[in-house]
Chains A and B, each alone.
Chain A
Amino acid sequence: MKVLVKKEALCIGCGLCEEICSKAYFKENNVDKSCIQVAKGEANEINVCNQCGACIDICQVVALSRGSNGVVRVNKKECVGCFMCVGFCPTLSMRQHDDYIEPFKCIACGLCAKECPTGAIAVEDIDFETKERL
């Protein structure tokens, strides 16, 4: 399964990943609209979906599902905008912005990883057991 993996020790908190993500999906540079978010400080903490799928089971309208590549996606057509998945995400990586009535999340597209200057993030194709260990 594809997942964006992180090495926080390498992160310098430049914010480039956030810019790339929000521009790619929402056509604006706005950290609040980025699927990956970095709490910048002495230790930069990268928050991004690890594709665990806990959200899939709590969605009443089955708008969340795992695709063939293992990535969890939001089906906006089915989503009724309750944001339960936002409150119930174990890593608080499901995003919500008041401009939209559906949540959004990292789909491990890798656009941000490609540009990361330090290699702190990368898309990897890993099996479930490896993921469990991570």
Chain B
Amino acid sequence: MDIKALKEAHSLLAEYSYEPAKLDKGYTDKTLYINIGENKISTKTVTPEIKEKFIGGKGIGLKYLWDATKPSTKWNDPENEIIIAGGPLCGITQYPGAGKSLVVTISPMTDIPIDSNVGGYFGPYLKFSGWDALEVQGKAEKDVIIFIDGNKGIVKIEEAPLEAVDGHVVSEQLTEMYAESEEDKKNISVISAGTAANHVNIGLLNFSFYDIRRQVTRLKQAGRGGIGKVFRDKKIKAIVIRFKGTKGDLNKPADQSLINKAGITLHKQIHDLDDVQCRMRQIGTANIIEVMDKYDLLPVHNYQYGKHSDTFKIASDVFIEKFITQGMPDGCWFGCSLSCAKAADKFELLTGPYKGDLVTVDGPEYENAAGLGSNCGVFDPQMVLEANFYCDTYGVDTISFGTACAFAMECYERGIINKDITGGLELNFGNGIAQLELLHQMSRGEGFGVLVGQGVKVMKEVFVKEYGADADFLRDIGMEQKGLEVSEYLPKESLAQQGGYGLTNKGPQHDEAWLIFMDMVNNQIPTFEDKAEALHYFPMFRTWFGLMGLCKLPWNDTMPADNHLTDEPAKIPQHVQHYVSLYNGVTGMNIDKHELIRQSERVYNFQRVFNIRRGKGLRLHDAMPYRAMGPVTIEEYESRQDRYDQQLRELLDYNPEGKTTEEKIKVMRDYRYDQYEKLTDAVYKRRGWNTNGVPTIEHLKEIGIDLPEVVEVVKQHL
């Protein structure tokens, strides 16, 4: 890697000097605007009103995106922006999970705003460099790198023709290039995509951090919604930031003591209890692979089934024993004692352009093991890790890819598509090599892989139009909604989780509501009203992490020993109080747990109205594919016949004796659709929306987001 040659090939397109704004109570009150089409760089001021209504993170991202775009703006129009923002709490080091960036853009997959929450050091360094947010607009002619030096106060746009595009290579190259010494590498963070993001909609962004102990650049992903595709369409190769001088009080909090207290309490709790609770420090999110299987919730073969006899082959302990290096503090931001980040070191690749290389693979996260693994019938940990690696470096969202690949495999197995269409690939469930080849095709921009990479929605259209597939059947089994692939939980037997996926702003991603256990396993929310309350509270509560620059995991992947004795154990009341303390400690405000929810409600409703402004965001867009709601096929029904027959008897007073499976499926389907509609009614009502899913003006007023431009949009729908 001749870094000097790479650097010498750069040509400067624009340079901007600035005096880094001083942080005060979590904000710099300045944001950085960069137009790479016009090579224009400027500063914007964050007003008190923006801070009050939109807080930070995805709130400020959505506000800027609204202002920058028209209702008709397409994802690849120059005015579409990529906005990256932490939030007032982003960058504190005392509380686990406080280094998140929120990335917002108009998605090539959903045609509405997407928001994605990502670790790595970029968000904190951006703020320490004087910026509450970074806004990138325009499209460059040739590949560029944006460089921000937060110590010197310099922003540069440089044409950069020679660097790699693949995430793991370009991140190493640029960390090497912009670090002033070996010790300085930890002060660099790189945002990149990958070669597949040049060609496919399901492209993601990698955010790097330098792992001092392993001496490698690690990557965390802003995965959902195709942000990497927008990034590459703008011809951005990378955004690099350098900031030296991280300390624990750079946010200049109003009351450091409140933050210290909450942080140390949680560190101690994690130290004492994580080994017997979620084992996040041992294996991270992958701890639930076998748990999901046990409860019949693991997506298998495109969500047809919830468990598989081979799951033990990709159980969390297999990864721990065979691949993962343990016991290293490698959180994606400083101070994360939950430390779910995991890496397989010196992992030898068996396929593709990096075949034979020994690489570091982050993961597997649960979603990767379930999406790339069980959902595609690939129960081989080596294959799962290799696909995980290539997804990351090519800039492909593992969740969308897993679900899209599973869909293509089911279509192949059912004869809807064949080898002529796949270009010779035998896309049977379990064919891990074929799965990898799809990824390599995406990287090269050729073959059937490129179609898979456009996502389930596009595949459905093409299979119907070009190959005469049955549109209704594909609508049933294609696990996407709003254009986004469903993440890796089987929601079929949990009505609340169907709502958790369906009644979201950005599409079926579990970061809004993950209610499967509450609903199905623990039966804590039996009535429609209970479910509606949960589908109000939890999405709002979880939205708050995205306003602040926080990670969700330290909220409920660790809990106080006496949590079960509290009035609302599912909310983890002590942790909610920690968050109140953190916010008040940083900003000097005095909110309580109710105002915390209100802060989220404003942004949540703003995002809903943003969708409506773009011709989406109504009831019809909240419908789910039936595969998410119940058994589509005879095989699915019969795999759980006893359970379904019992439900017909008990819930519908319908005697299944002597009925064909088709008849029973039909009765079950009518019932489950009806349940989902009733749930939708209850949730809309609880959220202050009308029956078409439109926030009422009274509600917008009550929560304080009745801005004229917002009211103007909803008026047309009331």
Interface residues of A (CB under 8 A from B): 57-62, 79-84, 86-88, 96, 98, 101-102
CB of B586 to closest CB in A, whole Å: 14
Q: A98-B257, A101-B247 are in contact. Are A83 and B263 (CB under 8 A)?
A: yes
Structural contact, A81 and B270, CB atoms closer than 8 A? no
Choose one: A79, A80, A82; the contact of B263 (CB below 8 Å).
A82
Interface size class of chain B, counting residues whose CB lies under 8 Å from the partner chain: 20 to 34
Whether B355 sits at the interface, judged by CB under 8 Å, is no
Structural contact, B264 and A80, CB atoms closer than 8 A? no
CA distance A16 to B260 in the complex (A): 28
Structural contact, B94 and A81, CB atoms closer than 8 A? yes
Whether B212 sits at the interface, judged by CB under 8 Å, is yes
* 9 closest residue pairs by CB, A with B: A81-B248, A87-B267, A82-B335, A87-B268, A82-B93, A98-B257, A60-B329, A101-B248, A88-B271
Interface CB pairs A-B, < 8 A, 24: A58-B329, A58-B337, A59-B329, A60-B330, A61-B186, A79-B248, A80-B93, A80-B246, A81-B93, A82-B93, A82-B248, A82-B334, A82-B335, A83-B263, A83-B264, A86-B268, A87-B268, A87-B271, A87-B337, A88-B271, A96-B260, A98-B256, A98-B260, A102-B248
CA distance A101 to B257 in the complex (A): 10
CA distance A102 to B247 in the complex (A): 9
Whether B213 sits at the interface, judged by CB under 8 Å, is yes
- A58-B337, A80-B335, A83-B264 provided; 18 other pairs, C-beta below 8 A? A58-B329, A60-B329, A60-B331, A61-B334, A62-B212, A62-B213, A80-B246, A81-B247, A82-B263, A86-B264, A87-B263, A87-B264, A87-B267, A88-B271, A96-B260, A98-B256, A101-B248, A102-B248
Residue of A nearest to B272 (CB): A87
Interface residues of B (CB under 8 A from A): 93-94, 186, 212-213, 246-249, 256-257, 260, 263-271, 327, 329-331, 334-335, 337
Residues of A within 8 A of B186 (CB): 61
Residues of B within 8 A of A79 (CB): 248
CA distance A81 to B329 in the complex (A): 15
Residues of A within 8 A of B269 (CB): 87
Structural contact, B94 and A82, CB atoms closer than 8 A? yes
Residues of A within 8 A of B271 (CB): 87-88
Residue of B nearest to A57 (CB): B327
Residue from A58, A59, A87, A101 whose CB has the most chain B CB atoms within 10 Å: A87
Residues of A within 8 A of B267 (CB): 83-84, 86-88
CA distance A81 to B250 in the complex (A): 10
CB of B246 to closest CB in A, whole Å: 5
Structural contact, B337 and A88, CB atoms closer than 8 A? yes
CB of B474 to closest CB in A, whole Å: 47
Residue of A nearest to B327 (CB): A57
Residues of B within 8 A of A84 (CB): 267, 329, 335, 337
CA distance A96 to B335 in the complex (A): 15
Q: A59-B329, A80-B93 are in contact. Are A96 and B264 (CB under 8 A)?
A: yes
Residues of A within 8 A of B266 (CB): 87
CB of A47 to closest CB in B, whole Å: 15
Structural contact, B263 and A60, CB atoms closer than 8 A? no
CB of B101 to closest CB in A, whole Å: 18
Residues of A within 8 A of B337 (CB): 58, 82, 84, 87-88
CB of B1 to closest CB in A, whole Å: 25
CA distance A125 to B257 in the complex (A): 37
Residue of B nearest to A86 (CB): B264
Residues of A within 8 A of B260 (CB): 83, 96, 98
CA distance A98 to B253 in the complex (A): 12
CA distance A101 to B260 in the complex (A): 9
Structural contact, B248 and A87, CB atoms closer than 8 A? no
CA distance A61 to B93 in the complex (A): 12
Q: A58-B329, A80-B93, A81-B93 are in contact. Are A87 and B270 (CB under 8 A)?
A: yes
Q: A80-B93, A83-B263 are in contact. Are A60 and B257 (CB under 8 A)?
A: no
CA distance A102 to B249 in the complex (A): 10
Structural contact, B335 and A83, CB atoms closer than 8 A? yes
Residues of B within 8 A of A81 (CB): 93-94, 247-249
CB of B588 to closest CB in A, whole Å: 16
Residues of A within 8 A of B331 (CB): 60
CB of A103 to closest CB in B, whole Å: 10
CB of B109 to closest CB in A, whole Å: 35
Residues of A within 8 A of B270 (CB): 87
Residue of A nearest to B256 (CB): A98
Residues of B within 8 A of A59 (CB): 329
CA distance A23 to B204 in the complex (A): 54
CA distance A57 to B335 in the complex (A): 13
Residues of B within 8 A of A82 (CB): 93-94, 248, 263, 334-335, 337
Residue from A57, A58, A83 whose CB has the most chain B CB atoms within 10 Å: A83
Residues of A within 8 A of B334 (CB): 60-61, 80, 82
CA distance A32 to B267 in the complex (A): 20
Residues of B within 8 A of A61 (CB): 186, 212, 334
Residue of B nearest to A87 (CB): B267
Choose one: B94, B212, B246; the contact of A83 (CB below 8 Å).
B94
Structural contact, A57 and B329, CB atoms closer than 8 A? yes
Residue of B nearest to A62 (CB): B212
CB of A99 to closest CB in B, whole Å: 9
Residue of B nearest to A102 (CB): B248
CA distance A86 to B262 in the complex (A): 12
CA distance A60 to B209 in the complex (A): 12
Residue of B nearest to A94 (CB): B264
CA distance A19 to B142 in the complex (A): 66
CA distance A102 to B248 in the complex (A): 8
CB of B713 to closest CB in A, whole Å: 43
Residues of B within 8 A of A62 (CB): 212-213
CA distance A96 to B213 in the complex (A): 25
CB of A104 to closest CB in B, whole Å: 14
CB of B373 to closest CB in A, whole Å: 30
CB of A49 to closest CB in B, whole Å: 16
Residue from A62, A79, A83, A84 whose CB has the most chain B CB atoms within 10 Å: A84
CB of B361 to closest CB in A, whole Å: 20
CB of B272 to closest CB in A, whole Å: 9
CA distance A90 to B264 in the complex (A): 14
Structural contact, B212 and A60, CB atoms closer than 8 A? yes
CA distance A59 to B327 in the complex (A): 11
CA distance A102 to B186 in the complex (A): 19
Q: A61-B186, A80-B334, A87-B271 are in contact. Are A101 and B327 (CB under 8 A)?
A: no
CA distance A61 to B257 in the complex (A): 22
Residue of B nearest to A92 (CB): B268
CA distance A61 to B269 in the complex (A): 22
CB of A11 to closest CB in B, whole Å: 26
Residue of B nearest to A97 (CB): B260
CA distance A81 to B267 in the complex (A): 13
CA distance A84 to B281 in the complex (A): 13
Residues of A within 8 A of B330 (CB): 60
CA distance A87 to B337 in the complex (A): 9
